[in-house]
């Protein structure tokens, strides 16, 4: 199986009401853990590489490992640039085998966001590469009260029509990292905003960034190991499940993989003080990532048995 763009994946996800997991990768073990999980569950998947991951491992290293993993397992997969911050970076990825790119100009005034997104779409379309863009700000929890940070439904429609993007990342209450909601503040997702966009442009693929649930069981184990994650809080699984079943086609998950990998490493090191062979501790990371992805696919995304290969 070779890599494909996200268009057909999203069409099916919309029709059959599930979401595709988009997992951030930065090394071979993560890629293998995710591929194995998707192979075993027959789930489609998006591997995504951020600018930071590219700096760490190199674009070519990561994209080639993804290609090998997809060839070996035969899974249905896309290779996506996460939070591309310039036309040049998007072009570089489009020219080098990525099947999907995100241009994130959400911090710019809307007219500039539209302009740069149009340029990326124009370049990507010729090569059959999908484009995701973002509207609104994924702000930290202190700024949730400011409504202007959320995606404005009317603006979203104008943006989609003008740019001809393939999917839109919406700001509806989530943020990146392990601290999504202030302590004692009830977690929420602005389903009303999602609903409004859906009513205006039915079935347009919407993307949820910051879709980690920050499993409290993992947090309490990490706290016991001395990791300072007090008050870490993610999006409750029930809300994510509802989002996947209703309108969200793609869920971006990075933090939950980091947390599970880190806990696996902590556990390994505490019970194997002499375990110097990197294969032994990287293997435990690979297994924990695989299990986390399987839990996401079965418990939240609903993408099990949805791969078309």
Binding mask 108-147 for ligand G3H (x = CB under 6 A): ----------------------------------------
| # residues contacting ligand G3H (CB under 6 A) | 8
Q: Which does 212 bind (CB under 5 to 8 A by kind): ligand G3H, Zn ion, ligand 13P, none?
A: ligand 13P
Q: How far apart are CA 144 and CA 179, in angstroms?
A: 13
Q: Output 176 or 241, the one with its CB closest to ligand G3H.
A: 176
Cα dihedral: 184, 22, 226, 28 (round 10) = 180
SS3 151: coil
Q: How far apart are CA 78 and CA 68, in angstroms?
A: 13
SS3 264: helix
Q: Output 19 or 307, the one with its CB closest to Zn ion.
A: 19
Pair 174, 136: CB distance under 8 Å: no
Q: Which does 52 bind (CB under 5 to 8 A by kind): Zn ion, ligand 13P, ligand G3H, none?
A: ligand G3H
Instruction: Output the CA angle 41-34-74, nearest 5 degrees.
Output: 60
Q: Is 82 a catalytic residue?
A: yes
Rounded to a whole number of angstroms, the minimum distance from the CB of residue 270 to Zn ion is: 32
Q: How far apart are CA 31 and CA 309, in angstroms?
A: 19
Q: Which of 222, 233, 217, 214 is nearest to 296 (CA)?
A: 214
Under the criterion CB under 6 A, does residue 54 sit at the interface with ligand G3H?
no
Binding residue for ligand G3H (CB under 6 A) from 76, 132, 134, 254? 254
CA distances from 259 to 97, 187, 213 (A): 29, 20, 11
Q: Output 73 or 130, the one with its CB closest to ligand G3H.
A: 130
Q: Which does 73 bind (CB under 5 to 8 A by kind): ligand G3H, Zn ion, ligand 13P, none?
A: none
Q: Find how far residue 6's CA is from the centre of its chain.
A: 13
Binding mask 69-108 for ligand G3H (x = CB under 6 A): -------------xx-------------------------
Q: Which does 253 bind (CB under 5 to 8 A by kind): ligand 13P, Zn ion, ligand G3H, none?
A: ligand 13P
Q: How far apart are CA 87 and CA 92, in angstroms?
A: 9
| Span of 48-56, 183-191, 195-203, 264-272 interacting with ligand G3H by CB under 6 A | 48-56
Q: Which of 251, 261, 177 is nearest to 211 (CA)?
A: 251
Rounded to a whole number of angstroms, the minimum distance from the CB of residue 190 to ligand 13P is: 16
Known catalytic residues are 82
Residues that bind ligand G3H (CB under 6 A): 24, 50, 52-53, 82-83, 176, 254
């Amino acid at each position: 199986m070779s890599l494909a763009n996200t268009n057909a994946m999203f069409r099916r996800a919309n029709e059959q009401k599930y979401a595709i997991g988009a997992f951030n990768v930065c090394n071979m073990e993560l890629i293998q853990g995710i591929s194995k999980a998707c192979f075993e569950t027959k789930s489609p998947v998006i591997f995504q590489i951020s600018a930071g991951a590219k700096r760490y491992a190199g674009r070519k290293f990561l994209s080639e490992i993804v290609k090998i993993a997809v060839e070996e397992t035969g899974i249905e997969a896309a290779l996506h640039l996460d939070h591309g911050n310039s036309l040049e970076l998007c072009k570089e990825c489009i020219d080098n085998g990525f099947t999907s790119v995100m241009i994130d100009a959400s911090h710019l005034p809307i007219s500039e966001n539209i302009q740069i997104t149009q340029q990326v779409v124009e370049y990507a379309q010729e090569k059959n590469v999908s484009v995701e863009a973002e509207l609104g700000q994924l702000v930290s929890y202190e700024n949730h009260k400011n409504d202007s940070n959320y995606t404005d439904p009317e603006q979203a429609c104008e943006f989609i029509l003008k740019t001809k993007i393939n999917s839109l990342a919406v700001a509806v209450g989530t943020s990146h990292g392990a601290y999504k909601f202030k302590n004692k503040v009830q977690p929420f997702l602005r389903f009303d905003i999602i609903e409004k966009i859906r009513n205006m442009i039915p079935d347009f693929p919407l993307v949820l960034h910051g879709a980690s649930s920050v499993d409290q069981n993992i947090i309490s184990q990490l706290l016991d190991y001395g990791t300072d994650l007090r008050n870490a809080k993610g999006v409750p699984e029930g809300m994510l499940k509802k989002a996947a079943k209703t309108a969200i086609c793609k869920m971006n998950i990075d933090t939950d993989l980091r947390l599970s990998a880190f806990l696996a490493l902590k556990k390994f090191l505490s019970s194997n003080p002499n375990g110097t062979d990197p294969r032994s501790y990287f293997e435990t990371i690979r297994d924990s990532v695989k299990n986390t992805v399987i839990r996401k696919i079965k418990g939240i995304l609903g993408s099990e048995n949805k791969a078309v290969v």
